[in-house]
Amino acid sequence: MNRISRLGRPGAVVAVAAAAVALAAGPASAADGPSIGKSISVGNSPYQVGALPALHRVVVAEAGDHTVGVIDTRTGQVVTHFPLPGKTPLAIATNKKTNTVYVGTQQDTVEVLDGNTGRRKATYQVGEHAHSIGVDEAHGRIAVANVESGTVTILGDDGGWAVGVNVGKAPTSPAFSADGNKLYVTNAESNTVSVIATGPNDYWPSVGKTIGTHFWPLQAAVNPKTGKLYFTNFTQGTVQVIDTATDNLVGSIAVGTEPIGIAVNADTNTVYVANSKSNSLSVIDGATDRVRATVPTRGQFPLGVAVTDAKTAFVSNRVSNNVNVLGDPGPAVGSAA
């Protein structure tokens, strides 16, 4: 069994140390820095999470229950579960403009759901093991990393067209540039990032550049305001940074042990990293690309991260079957100096 299978398939054995659950704490203040304020019980084996700010919702891929859990961000309560009979949800992504939820399943499909009602709008067959989904909101399309197929599938979210692109070995996370003209794909077993031109005249997309990385790049996220791409390196315990204007590596940041999930808060120029073995979140100041805080999670094997507003992020803990709410007042004034 390869390492991707261990991370991405439900029912795998994950060795983690037992951790005591801390007492609940109040929201973070500017003096306190980022902290976990609430822990929410969800369905079995929560994988990735996504945000729908306009609906005040966070959606959770509940692999063990074949459902998508829905959390009301105003109350911190699970309000419903969208059923996916016969499907095992692993990846999840959202289009915040249309309130659409995309769910990648172990059955090699992407399920397209209405984020308000849970109605299934479409089902798309993709490559083998849909590990993660990237969304290009401006152009109404998504990209799906197919780990076992060594491909990424780019398709219009109306299902009108689709194209497959060969990338490196074990592609794990696609992320579009802010303008949608490029797609970046982390390849875990190749230790590379593939850069694909996806502009309006790129009718037959292909890899134009391959960037070498640290060991086992997994999840990626773009800050649309700074043009930086951040991605986790699972084995190395780092986050690396690519300038999407030049497609050059411009930084490397030491984080916790075995980082997986990553999310960007563009409003505060902050990056959140889920360290699966450390049971912690690394909080990175994007102005300096340095870790400004490390926050213990209230659960084991943190995996997915989603930002809901300028001061809040949600993180799923796969082994503990819960989602933590992180309050973060943001970087201190003058931190970029």
Q: What is the pLDDT of residue 22?
A: 29
Least confident of 40-54, 76-90, 97-111, 148-162: 148-162
Q: pLDDT digit string (tens) for 87-98?
A: 999 999 999 999
Q: What is the pLDDT of residue 28?
A: 41
Q: Decide: pTM greater than 0.75.
A: yes
- 202 part of a folded domain: no
Least confident of 5-9, 111-115, 277-281: 5-9
Q: What is the pLDDT of residue 19?
A: 28
Is the pLDDT at 11 greater than 70? The verdict is no
Q: How many domains would you assign to the chain?
A: 1
Three-class HEC string of 145-173: EECCCCEEEEEECCCCCEEEEECCCCEEE
Q: What is the phi/psi pair of residue 21, to 5°?
A: -85, 125
- 91 part of a folded domain: yes
Is the pLDDT at 55 greater than 80? The verdict is yes
Scan for tokens 């889920």, then name that residue: 274
Q: What is the pLDDT of residue 175?
A: 98
- 65 part of a folded domain: yes
- 330 part of a folded domain: no
Domain that holds residue 88: 44-125
- 278 part of a folded domain: no
- 255 part of a folded domain: no
The whole-number average pLDDT for the span 178-206 is 95
Contact yes or no for 250/240 (Cβ under 8 A): no
Q: pLDDT digit string (tens) for 275-327?
A: 999 999 999 999 999 999 999 999 999 999 999 999 999 999 999 999 999 99
Is the pLDDT at 336 greater than 90? The verdict is no
Return d(Cα 295, Cα 87) in angstroms, integer.
Answer: 33
**Secondary structure percentages of the chain, helix, strand, coil, to 5:** 5, 55, 45
- 78 part of a folded domain: yes
At 26, is the pLDDT very low, low, confident or very high (cuts 50, 70, 90)? very low
- 319 part of a folded domain: no
Is the pLDDT at 79 greater than 50? The verdict is yes
Q: What is the pLDDT of residue 32?
A: 75
Q: What is the pLDDT of residue 335?
A: 52
Residue 71 sits in a domain whose CATH number is 2.40.10.480
Q: What is the pLDDT of residue 333?
A: 66
Residue 217 identity (one-letter amino acid): P
Q: What is the pLDDT of residue 299?
A: 97
Q: Which has the closest alpha carbon to 298: 324, 269, 266, 274?
A: 324
Helix (H, G, I), strand (E, B) or coil at 314: strand
Q: pLDDT digit string (tens) for 224-263?
A: 999 999 999 999 999 999 999 999 999 999 999 999 999 9
Apex CA 284: angle with CA 281 and CA 290, to 5°? 125
Q: Which residues on adjacent β-strands are paired with residue 105?
A: 89
